[in-house]
Amino acid sequence: MAFLVGGTLYARYALAPAMEGMRTDEKTKLADRVADRMRALVIAVVAALVASGLFNLYRRAMLPGGLPAGYHLWFGIKMLLALHVIAVSLLFGKVGVEPAKRTRQLTGVAISGLLILAISAHLRLMR
């Protein structure tokens, strides 16, 4: 998740502002090239996130005493946010998306990703 959030923050707060002086067709072309190169990596990262999330839930559930109170609530919120990140990350790989829409998508993924990291830290501390 750190890779996905870090890449999103870079794209949103470094790459998008750097493209502001460009014509719309140039922005779209550059954004399409970036999305095309990142598509396979994003899919691999998303698959690893889903697998590690399910493994961690299983591992935690098998501990003596089971899951602490409130764990399912926070895990459910985290999964809903993760579904948002996954969906938008996969949509980000589409070509021909207008730059303003792509910037909005990046903002949403950055916020959701940071919330996921915070919830993950909270879940690790729950006993």
With contact defined as beta carbons under 8 Å apart, do 108 and 87 qualify? no
Domain ranges of the chain: 2-125
pLDDT tens-digit map of 11-67: 889 988 888 889 988 888 888 888 888 888 888 988 898 898 888 888 888 888 888
Name the residue among 126, 112, 125, 119 with its Cα closest to residue 53: 119
Neighbours of 1 (CB within 10 A): 19
pLDDT tens-digit map of 74-110: 999 999 999 998 888 888 777 777 888 888 988 998 9
Q: What angle do CA 53, 55, 58 make, to 5 degrees?
A: 110
From first CA to last CA, the distance across the chain in angstroms is 23
CA distances for 116 relative to 74, 78, 79, angstroms: 10, 6, 8
Q: Which amino acid is at 68?
A: P
